[in-house]
Amino acid sequence: MARYFLSVKYDGLAFHGSQIQGETPTVQLAINKALSTLLRTEVSSFGASRTDEGVHALCNFYHFDTEQELTGKFIYKMNAILPPTIAISRMYLANDPELNCRFAATARQYRYRIYWQKDPFRFQRALYYPYKIDIAALHEAAAIFPAYEHFETFSKRNTQSRTFICRLTDSHWEEHRDELHYVVRGNRFLRGMVRGLVGTQLQVARSKMSIAQLRDIIDAKDCTLADFSVPGFGLYLEDISYPEGALTEIKN
């Protein structure tokens, strides 16, 4: 039995989240149906990172097991039957057949996009935010998060997580012409965490919260103090990393 990893990208607006929810349209359900059709047996995939409804992915991973030896042509076949809102970009063989795409991941990176000028071509691809903000305050706010490890304040309730400990290795804002992007990288993220980080930082940038108050709410470990109001469609899961040598890419 071999374990394969699929690198998947998708339009989050087309699905009710990534994780399986019965017959509700989700990314995982679409992948499972495509795999089962091609392999002619019922196949269940396992996801590396759960994304909420509306959240996009440039790179999420799903693993599955099969006794069949697969070639790079399998990517073409999967893309031929998957809906147009989801695509397989790469396929890998796990060198350890017990490697778990969720628990073996060493880092995940998210990006949240904001723009100021109304633009129909960015509608629900980034957050339209026509407010005056203090960009210097945003940079200052983002820089403090890697110094913390307990992020209960930025976790939505009803989470399945047993711990609120997350280690962030990067947290910064980037200016891209008329857009601002928040980029955050860490070993793991809690439910709604990135949106909570973004929404709360925007409160700082609009002078509704000071940096001292931001530190206070982190220490409070109280999710009612964070702002989770920014929509999911501005958020992109853009990278997941695994230990060097863990995966062997299967090419055409």
Active site residues: 52
Question: What's the token pair of residue 194?
Answer: 């990135």
Q: Do residues 42 and 15 touch, judged by C-beta distance below 8 A? A: no
Question: What's the token pair of residue 240?
Answer: 């997941």
Closest CA to 75 of 61, 88, 86: 88
Count of alpha carbons within 13 angstroms of residue 53, beta-carbon side: 5
Residue 173, exposed/middle/buried by CB under 10 A (0-12, 13-18, 19+)?
buried
Task: Please list, residue by residue across 96-135, b when 16 or more beta carbons sit within 10 angstroms of its beta carbon and e when fewer do.
Answer: eeebebeebbebbbbbbbbbeeeeeebeeebbebeeebee
